[in-house]
Each structure stands twice: as structure tokens, then as C-alpha cells.
Structure 1
């Protein structure tokens, strides 16, 4: 499992561990102050990742200060304004900055100033896309996408895979924007990604973020049932039932009218399940329906599909009935005295 440490939403470190990871700062300076959070992801599939933890604000105190914004206190002889320029700005210098002050005689630091966001205007890093509250959202609920980068003063665009028109566009002077979706419908399920650029029609956009899969739960649509090659099938042939719905990751069950036990059950991560019946016999003639549910013993199944009639045809079917009837009469004859049986 991979654990990633974020500062102001931007990855700064990662470690491989089973259940817990520690991130050590050997020599803390004022530049380490900021808002930290973390998340974990599957080592084999980085797309499978958790929601970021709650933010933890780290305040660094000491004699060396690096203020980038007024602390909110008026300048006095006791508390003069101090400036500390950043020369040769680097990508890692982008982020949120605050400043503090304290008196030499009082070792307790002041409250941090309001944060100041330093962004890069000529370097477009790959953005990150997250969702709140999580990527499994209930039908009719509220959720929001967050597209974040180290550059600001840009235009952010959210896309859904398979759709030409963007889900949303936000112009912002910050490095993080929100795309709110309210209320959530089943059509919101899918894969999303975002990118940004520095404004203007001719500006070059950034790379796309990693895709984020959104699954809308809490709805089970009525499935459809079809059969191939035809609902009229010859004795001894093969027939395949297809149960299909708009929900994925479900369990599909095929039933035949008049029978308690299902014809078959298929667990599928897709929106369609296949039930193959080979060597069709006369007993397969009848009415079939299917339904699905989201798995688990307590889950509520969907409505049944419309009934589908299957008819087994062919002369062999009639011959089979005659042979069966004849064999039955022969067995009865064998059990009776021969001088009593009249066939």
C-alpha cells in the first residue's frame, strides 16, 4: 500500500507500508509550516485510492521567520515589519504561506497570519482531482469535485469520459476550484478528469489529471432480457439469455416460471450477464425473467424484467414425447401379468 503526504493538496512525499506510514521532518523550518493531509492507494493500481484525511495545520515557531504577508498586527517598534524575499523561485516554492511573531522574552508564538497562496504562472503542473464526500455517492445526494494544482490565476475544466461538452468551467485566481453537483442522478456515474490553463484562447492547457471513477448507488433499474439466436430454438441446439441493466457491479439471476430454483446466477462487474444453455431439451420451453441486485444477503433486488417466452421446436421433440410415452407404457406392461396387459 502507498501512503502519500499532501501539503496544501500537493503531494510532497510518499511511503510504502502495510497499515501505517510515518513522515519525518529532520530539520523543521518555517517553510515546513502549512496545511497537511494524507491518503493511501493500492500499490498495484494507483487509481484505487482513499479520500484525503482531514487537514492538519503545522505551525513552526522560532527566531527565523519568513513572512510573506502582513501578520494582521500594526507595525510598532516592538514588532517591526520583516521581509524575506524568495530568490530563484522553484516549483516547490508554490503553496500556502503564513507568518508568526513572538517576543524574545515570551517563548510563545502568535497566531498565524492569514494564508497567502503563492502560485507559478509559467509552469503548468499536472492537477489532482478529488471528490467529496467520496467517490461512492447515493442517488439524489450532493457531491463536489475539486481540481487542484500549484498554479493559479487559471481556468479549470472538468470532463466526463464519453461526453464532448465539458461538465463545467471555472475561472479562478486560486489554485483549487470546486465543481458542485446537486442532485446526483444515475447519469453522473462514470470517469472524470480535469485540466487547466492560464487563460486566453491560445494558451496551452496542462496535462489531464488522473481519472477518477464515480459510482452512483441506491438505484436499481428494471433490467431487460433478450435471447440469442432466437426465442424459437431447435431441440438439441444452444441458446443464450442476456440480462442487461444500467447498473454495474451487480449479481444477476435468471428464473423460469413455475420453478423455485433459479436457472442460474452470475456475479458480474459489468452491466450485462450471460446465461448459456446448451443441448436444449423440451423442458426448456417456458417463460423466463431476470433481475439483479448489488450483492450481499440483505440487498434489495430490482424489479423483474418483462417475461420472455422460449419455444423448443422440431420433429425430434415430438418423437421424443412419443418414445417417452411408449417407454412408460412398456414399464407398466412389465409390472403387470402379460395376459392382462392390452396395449
Structure 2
């Protein structure tokens, strides 16, 4: 028969626990059991307390912490004094885990307004969790699964976190590491077209999709014509040898190359294709024969003028004489050898697309005109202060003695530092204009003969009007420009006025063109920019095609500019010219 002492010395209690791996906040119950006899008390040996007495064989630890982890044992005890203890139970190791969920965002953390993203909160151990998502305003929402789908607006950007909870009462994990979601407005692309949105059959057209903003480093592109997709991935859409089939409305959209974001669809650009190759019209500012020494300006007119360069030919269409960026070609101080037949054509794009040649225009240079020309650089009547101005008397008869003279408030000749004379050309160069340089300038011979008076004005303004120095001939094209002292403003919209009334209200651009000038176009002109202000006024004169009228007008201009007291003399001169014209009929 086994005695009690033998039993106590030889038997061990059995220590059990529901699970040996738990999370912070869980409840753990340890059970110590002896299968024979009764009346036992139990002692639990824990990591934080060498002896913990329990009258029953269970020990409950609520809301365990990391410090509760370690080795647990128990023994049974009978009696008080003296008492008898069993052996220690087999040890059990309890592991307490500090749980921290992992938060991820799909498809990405940088999104546009209205995009949908999925927040995923993961706990990789155990089950039975509920998930709490915390948005940037610290508002919590609970999900039974570890995913939450949200549609983001502008104000939804910021830090997101999550945590998990389970049990009753519920215990919670730590918060996940925060993730920042960036929300931006969805960009709208702009489509540009080169060389123009109105082209001709056979030209090469390049469309470009430009996307600014959105924080996307790399885009791939989709192109649409009349809402039907044309091409993917490339920023440029090139149409070679365009036909009428290609006319229509073009739009584009961008998709992020290494992501899921996409832009709005751009506004439409309408491409117009004309079937026949254009043929320019060549005109001259003179009619009939041109006297030697005069200036001749040829103009190459084409309806669609955007992006063209102009090519000029003399005697034969195979020999190019000059190339200009604008549609005008000026021959200063013409000689008899400048006479002949001229053509023009225009070209643009890469590869070059050329228009047809214009009809030929014959320029006849004959006779003897005043042998000197007044050349003005830059060739306009208004100038900014601090700019330079050069005026040259160029003598075509190889004589000498012509000088630049002027009538201002202070001086009537150029200063010695401004004067330069080389052979048959004398030049007055004012390197830094001031307002007192405003006045009348002309060429004067040693004998006192005065030719080509012009009005030059100098202004401290931010805006001036680029207008012709000499009168414009009836039937010619008049081009006026708004010029700015500093760099051009981003908004080029300018309004042009004649005698105080608006004659052209620009939605874009800073140029006004009157294709065919008549006497009704004479008057005071100026331009006005909404930010830079308005230019000073300039008088635009329109002359008839009679040389007699031209000479009479030039003389009137000179005399009036030099001295208003000579008005009576001017009247007599005009009557003299009229009588001479009547006697010649």
C-alpha cells in the first residue's frame, strides 16, 4: 500500500493552458490538476511572482502584457503546519506577442480626385479580428474584414492608420504605421497642332498632347479623332501627307506609365484640310514704273498665313533671291538692275511643304529720282527711350555732301559722337534715345536741298505702336504692331484704336492688318493692352498713286513739322502743284 508521503513525493500535478501563444490584452487561464485525493491547495510559480497561492486549481491573467510572458509551473499542497508539497509540474512557456497590423494601399498612394483606392489592414497571426480604419480627421470606421474601399476627394488626402480588436470585452492591437495618401486634381491636357490647324492636302501635321500638373513623372497617351481612338502611348501624333479624310476634331488623354492614374480628355482641336494647293498673290506698293532711289516693297499674300516662310524669286522661278519670315520683301533705293519679273511662294513644316508660285509681277525701274535715300533703323515712327536709332543718308549718284539733319527742341544736327560718314553714306546713330530726341529728321545737301522729312518720337512708355514712317499708298496692306518695352506679356490681347474708336478688338495677338488701305483709313492710331497700358498716338497718312501728289505731301509734311508758321507757304505750294497738274492734262 502506497503511503501519502510516497504519493506526494512521486506524483506531479498537470499544468495546462488553452494556448501558449497569446497577444497583448488577451485573457489567459492556467489549470493545475491532481487526479487523486482532494483537499489540495495550489501554488503557481509565475515569471513575475515566485509563488502565487490559489485555493482552486485555476489562475486567470486578464489583459496580459509582454511582461507576463515566460515559464509557468505549479505544485499541490496539503496541510498547514507542517504541510506536504507535491513535485513541480512540467513547465509551460507562455509567449505574449505585441501585435502591430500592417496597412497597405492599392493601387497606389498618389491619386486624383474621384479615384478609388483600397486600404488593407492585415494581422498575420490568429483569427477573429475586427478592423478599425482611422482617416486623416481621426474618424474611425469598423470593418469585419481587413479591407476598406474608399473614393477619394480633395479633402481626403492625409494620413491613414488601422488597428485590430477582438474578444469581449474587446482588446486591441497597436496602430499600424501611418500611410500618407496624396490627392490632386485630375489634369486636363492641351492639344497643340503644328504647323497650323488649317492645312492643305499633302502637308505633314504634328499634334502634341501636353499635360501639366498631377505629379505624374511619365505618361502614355491615347489619341482620339471624333471620339474614335487613333493611337496609344506616344505624346506626338503625326499625320504624313494629310488628306481631307484626316479633317476632324482631335483630343487626347494621358495614362500613368507605371501606375493607374489617368487625366481628363483634352478639349478638342479642329483640323481643317483644304483640297487644293494654295497659290499666293504677289503685289507691290508701287504702280507703274519706279524711279531709281525709291523703295519698293513686295508682298506675298496667302489666306492661311500661320507658320509660313516666304521665298522670293527674280527672272526665273528656279533661282531663289531671298527668304523672309514675314510676307514682305523690301528693296531699298532701287537701281535699274533691280527691275525685272518677280515671283513668290511660301513654305512651312518638316519636311517642307511649298505652295504654288504666284503669278509673275513685273517691276520696271526707270528715270532719275532724288539721288539720296533716308534709311531708318528700326524702321518705325515711335521708339522707346534708351533704345538706339540709326538714320542714314545713302547717296546713289556717288556724290557726297548729304548729311542727316534734325529739328528738335535742342539740336538741329547730330552731335559729333553720333556722326559717321563712309563714302557716299552718312549715318547718325543715337545710341541711347531720350524723349528730347523727338523731332523731324531729313537729309540735307551742302547746297541746302532738303529731302525725305520724317517724324520720329521717343517715349518713356511701356507700350508703343509700330507704324510706318512714310505715308502708305492706297491699295497697300497696312500692318500695325503693339510693342512692349520689356518681354512680351503672357496675355497678348491688344485693342487698336483710330481717332479714339476701337477698330479691332483682339481676342489673341498684338497685330492689326488692314489688307487694302484707302484714304478713309487716314487718322490717329494707337494700341492698348489691358495690363501694360496704351501707346502714344501716331498719324497714319495714305497717299494716292500719283508721284506729284506724293511729292506735294512730303513737302507739306516737312514744312508743317519744321515750322507751323509756314502754313501760308504750304497752301501756296499746294495750289502751285494743282495748277501744274491741270496744265499738263
TM range (shorter): 0.3 to 0.5
Higher-strand-fraction structure: 2
Larger radius of gyration: 2
Output the TM-score relative to the length of structure 2: 0.22
Output the TM-score relative to the length of structure 1: 0.32
Q: Which protein has greater RCO, CA pairs closer than 8 Å, 6+ apart?
A: 1
